[in-house]
Amino acid sequence: MPPKIRELISQLQKSGFKNRGGKGSHRNFSHSKGSKITISGKSGDDAKPYQIKAVKIAIGEVSK
């Protein structure tokens, strides 16, 4: 079972990403180290494989 969008958002926020807002179902997150990521979809939707991968990469970049 894939994680929900809200779980990806929670992981980003725990890693220090701040929600910069967005338009519609898009949410833009940025980190003080310069990394940015956009997550789209309702919070209860299943995350797509490319979204899961993008979140892992973004978190990996800021944890170095």
22 touches 30 (CB < 8 A): no
Q: Residue 39: how many CB atoms within 10 A of its CB? A: 23
Please report, in angstroms and rounded to a whole number, the separation of the first and last CA atoms in the chain: 29
39 touches 27 (CB < 8 A): yes
% pLDDT > 90, the chain:
95
Residue 52 has pLDDT above 90, yes or no: yes
64 touches 27 (CB < 8 A): no
Residue 20 has pLDDT above 90, yes or no: yes
Q: Region 42-53: what's the mean pLDDT?
A: 96
Q: How far apart are CA 59 and CA 15, in angstroms?
A: 7
